[in-house]
Amino acid sequence: MSTLSYVDESADSPWSTYLAQVDRVVPYLGPLARWAETLKHCKRALIVDVPIELDDGSVAHYEGFRVQHNLSRGPGKGGVRYHPAVTLDEVMALAAWMSVKNAAVNLPYGGAKGGIRVDPKTLSIKELERLTRRYTSEIGIIIGPQQDIPAPDVNTNAQVMAWMMDTYSMNVGATATGVVTGKPIHLGGSLGRVKATGRGVFVTGREAARRINLELQGARVAVQGFGNVGSSAAELFHGAGAKIVAAQDHTGTIVNPRGLDLATLMPHVRDSGGVAGFAGAERADDESFWDVDCDILIPAALEGQITAARARRTKAKLVLEGANGPTLPAADDVLGDRGILVVPDVICNAGGVTVSYFEWVQDFSSFFWTEDEINLRLDKIMVGALRRIWDTADQHKISLRTATFAVACERILMARQERGLYP
């Protein structure tokens, strides 16, 4: 366990969860285990003060972070989130998971992540723009198209990325579209990017369902987090014949055993800001979400949601981690003991960063692909990566999570070993 004073030492903290996952993979690293301690340290962590003038003329200060976990395989890559619960511990873990995720799908990136501790709903659009531009200027010393490429995450979107790209470009004196991904299409963004993470959840879920002989037609799906990832995955599963029987977000929990009508739910969420109040379902207690009769559970909200107690209660046969770090290590063990298959975040939700890679490549060449080409390339990469991981899991008789870490960490540490230490 880390002894760094600024890291949350509690067993359920995101960084502690990540460290426990690393410990489980070390026995499968062979001679590369010599370098395993590399995985337990972040290369660089930047904490910045983000002062802005509010619309009423007062000045407010917010704390921002940008962490680069490992850059052995390429520039840092990872999103930026705006959330009142953002901490350095969380951002460190998210950056580390990005290192593993990028290596798991064999993208030429290291792992990075950023965030500001703020509730963006309390800010006007102009205040949000000032916050974004000041934060970008503060972290500008470590980001760049060949250094570290931010992207959208919780409570950030294409508009925030446009402000970040413009601010960085103004500071370096040239338009640099490749400094961020997830941008608007007309500013160098990629088709297919918005729904890419949810599509990756669906593609890996479809492959996993085949492995356990779970028919998607009529399968019952419960989705926690009905933002970009959860709603996109829900739409794709619904299109494959599954029934979305429960949805939960920050506004509440809704349940309909016959299946939610997504054609009316999606506009409701867009208009009202959440699933609460949807006429086509019953309101339920938030904790009862974990007792819903379902075949597939998709945690697509924040980390640390599936505790050991909740893992004992779920009726799902398959868990697809749309969020980063949603399952605590103790809960992982419970799910494994119960024979419930977990497709881990570091492969399950890698669709977003994969299409971000496509966007980055397209920006460098100024040549853009069609959405069909994007989706075909994404599906091929995701399916190939999952099959490689599944072969590793079968070979060592280990969970998909440990197998994903084994494949990814071998790639990271091989790069570390071959590059050597400088000086």
- φ/ψ of residue 282, rounded to 5: -95, 140
Residue 144 lies in a domain: yes
Question: Mean pLDDT over residues 146-175, rounded?
Answer: 97
Peptide bond into 423 cis (omega under 30): yes
Q: Are residues 214 and 264 in the same domain?
A: yes
Residue indicated by tokens 């659009």? 125
Looking at residue 255, its pLDDT comes to: 97
d(CA 248, CA 378): 27
pLDDT at 171 over 90: yes
The string of pLDDT tens digits covering residues 380-397 is 999 999 999 999 999 999
| Token couple for 180 | 């961020």
pLDDT at 304 over 60: yes
pLDDT band per the 50, 70, 90 thresholds, residue 7: low
Residue 275 lies in a domain: yes
Cβ count within 10 A of residue 203: 23
Write the Ramachandran bin of 385: left for phi over 0, alpha for psi from -120 to 50, otherwise beta: alpha
d(CA 166, CA 161): 8
Of 294, 313, 348, the residue that ends a domain is 348
Count of structural domains, the chain = 2
Cβ count within 10 A of residue 35: 18
Residue 30 lies in a domain: no
Looking at residue 199, its pLDDT comes to: 96
Burial code (b: 16+ CB inside 10 Å, e: under 16) for 159-174 equals ebbbbbbbbbeeeeee
Looking at residue 180, its pLDDT comes to: 98
Q: Write the DSSP symbol of residue 37.
A: G
Instruction: Note whether 183 and 177 are within 8 A (CB).
Output: yes
Question: Mean pLDDT over residues 303-331, rounded?
Answer: 95
pLDDT at 2 over 80: no
Query: Which helix (H) or strand (E) element contains residue 31?
Result: none
Q: Are residues 72 and 125 in the same domain?
A: yes
Q: Distance from CA of residue 54 to its chain's centroid?
A: 31
Of 348, 376, 392, the residue that ends a domain is 348
Active site residue ranges: 113
Cβ count within 10 A of residue 124: 10
- φ/ψ of residue 294, rounded to 5: -150, 160
Average pLDDT, the chain: 95
Looking at residue 71, its pLDDT comes to: 98
Of 281, 313, 348, the residue that ends a domain is 348
- φ/ψ of residue 346, rounded to 5: -70, -5
Question: Mean pLDDT over residues 125-146, rounded?
Answer: 98
Instruction: Note whether 232 and 203 are within 8 A (CB).
Output: no
pLDDT band per the 50, 70, 90 thresholds, residue 262: very high
For residue 88, give its domain range: 42-174
pLDDT at 5 over 60: no
Q: Are residues 151 and 211 in the same domain?
A: no
Looking at residue 8, its pLDDT comes to: 63
pTM for the structure as a whole: 0.93
pLDDT at 369 over 90: yes
Residue 307 is which amino acid? Answer: T
Lowest model confidence (mean pLDDT) among 7-21, 156-170, 408-422: 7-21
Q: Are residues 222 and 320 in the same domain?
A: yes
Q: Are residues 153 and 231 in the same domain?
A: no
pLDDT at 9 over 80: no
The string of pLDDT tens digits covering residues 344-363 is 999 999 999 999 999 999 99
Cα angle: 268, vertex 272, 273; to 5 degrees:
105
Q: Are residues 165 and 231 in the same domain?
A: no
Question: Mean pLDDT over residues 84-113, rounded?
Answer: 97
Q: Are residues 163 and 240 in the same domain?
A: no
Residue 37 lies in a domain: no
Residue 417 is which amino acid? Answer: Q
Residue 272 lies in a domain: yes
pLDDT band per the 50, 70, 90 thresholds, residue 102: very high
Q: Are residues 203 and 291 in the same domain?
A: yes
The CATH number for 95's domain is 3.40.50.10860
Instruction: Note whether 145 and 91 are within 8 A (CB).
Output: no
Instruction: Note whether 158 and 359 are within 8 A (CB).
Output: no
